[in-house]
Structure 1
Amino acid sequence: MCRNITELRGLNPPASAEEVEAAAAQFIRKVTGIARPTGATADAVQEAVREVAEITGRLLAGLPARRQEPKTVPPLRRPEVRRRLGLDQAQPAPAGKAAPPAGSARH
Structure 2
Amino acid sequence: MCRNIRMLFNFDPPVTEDEIRAASLQFVRKISGFNKPSKANEAAFLAAIDGVVHVSSQLLASLETTAPPKNREEEAAKAKARSANRFG
Same fold (TM over 0.5): yes
TM-score range, shorter chain: 0.7 to 0.9
CA distance in structure 2 between the partners assigned to 1:98 and 1:40 by the alignment: 40
- Unmatched 5+ residue regions in structure 2? none
Residue in 2 that maps onto 1:2: 2
SS at structure 2 position matched to 1:21? helix
Residue in 1 that maps onto 2:83: 104
Once the two structures are TM-superposed, the CA of residue 36 in structure 1 deviates from its matched residue by 0.9
Once the two structures are TM-superposed, the CA of residue 50 in structure 1 deviates from its matched residue by 0.2
Residue in 2 that maps onto 1:89: none
CA distance in structure 2 between the partners assigned to 1:99 and 1:9 by the alignment: 14
Once the two structures are TM-superposed, the CA of residue 98 in structure 1 deviates from its matched residue by 7.4
Greater share of residues in helix: 2
Structure ranking higher on relative contact order (CA contacts 8 Å, 6+ apart): 2
TM-score where L is the length of structure 2 = 0.77
Greater share of residues in strand: 2
- Check conservation: 1:2, 1:30, Cα contact below 8 A: yes
- Over 3 Å counting, the alpha-carbon distance change for 1:20 and 1:66 in structure 2 is farther
- Check conservation: 1:10, 1:66, Cα contact below 8 A: no
CA distance in structure 1 between the partners assigned to 2:25 and 2:14 by the alignment: 19
Matched residue type, 1:58 = Q
Matched residue type, 1:104 = S
CA distance in structure 1 between the partners assigned to 2:38 and 2:66 by the alignment: 39
What CA RMSD, in Å, does the superposition of the two structures yield over aligned residues?
A: 2.5
CA distance in structure 2 between the partners assigned to 1:9 and 1:50 by the alignment: 19
Matched residue type, 2:59 = L
Once the two structures are TM-superposed, the CA of residue 104 in structure 1 deviates from its matched residue by 3.1
TM-score where L is the length of structure 1 = 0.65
Residue in 2 that maps onto 1:20: 20
Counting matched residue pairs gives: 81
Identity of aligned residues (%): 35
SS at structure 1 position matched to 2:11? coil
